[in-house]
Structure 1
């Protein structure tokens, strides 16, 4: 049974099987997204849910019967707190086949012969030919293959055009899937694209506050343009504070003299702050009558 067919069988069993014990599973009663149990990045969370489940024994008996005899690559997901590899390791039929395969390999292993000529190295395939290979030739699991196809990745060339960060960002491409992809590419002598070095945009020219900070981080003395830029910024901040205080006093109808008294600023500072904001001076009451 293929991995995809197995996924459908398991999901159908979880969603449509009428056994009462399945309705009591935490995967249902807790409202957990089923994707939690099929994501390589969420194995720990899935297991923590299964361990607390009151029907874990029923679930284990059921999944082992459904997957009876299937290899680890044909299984998927976490069931009864067991991953696909762990369930395959518990399957007597799988263990029997693996033991027989190991025995055949040991029996058929040829004795070393120093006089035997070494086989010729496989011819190097052109890069364009490798790029044109379909994803099917990488022998990826159905889950990884489908995740890549959903991102419109259909050939080896499409895949090696991505960086490591871009592959890891693909949904359902966790650590296991990423290792599988890199191993298959390495077997072909290929690798994912190296990210381009980011051009730093913080190397501002001298005469800016960013350049002044760069001098300080490097332990360098500030040059004259950077000193001027820092002084200019400090002046702007002082003027912004002055403008805010003068405006608040002006909104109360105070004259320049009253504003100076209330804020502690000199009269010339008050007039400049008012001029910067386009405010007309208030006249003291009774001035026209006098």
Structure 2
């Protein structure tokens, strides 16, 4: 008997038991998503006993993604560094830059046809270049195939942080509404105790009875 069941093997990329041995589970998540704290995040990753597993997991999950679609420090690498190690992402970025350069060259080489109409109306002022740190500026960087500046990268991280907080708040509030303690919320949602406590505090939710008694 070979034990063959006729089912396809499960080859999906997911975090295994190793994630529970990662020291970042007990650290403040903001350390890994704040530009000014990159050095501290790297130092935590350097002492991690499951650094290789974390690196293999994140490179598989983010395979092919552009730098702008990555976030935070994972396995001791920033979003830009992980994108630089991904050959698919680098190939796509090179094609984007080539396309942008070709468009600029095409505009330069194309001569406008002479107009045989009424006198032109006064031209409007050209559209001002958007200020860095805004969504419009980040999209302009992407359109031109440019790396994000620090202001645009910080703004992107802030938006990512807001989305992450919204998801955490929703999960914690739903579990809290069913009377679960902080420990129970951690078990159900997979969030750390620090994240659960801060999500409650942001929403002014008191700890449930068993949590207060344990405290």
TM normalised by structure 2 equals 0.46
TM normalised by structure 1 equals 0.35
- Please say which structure displays the higher CA radius of gyration: 1
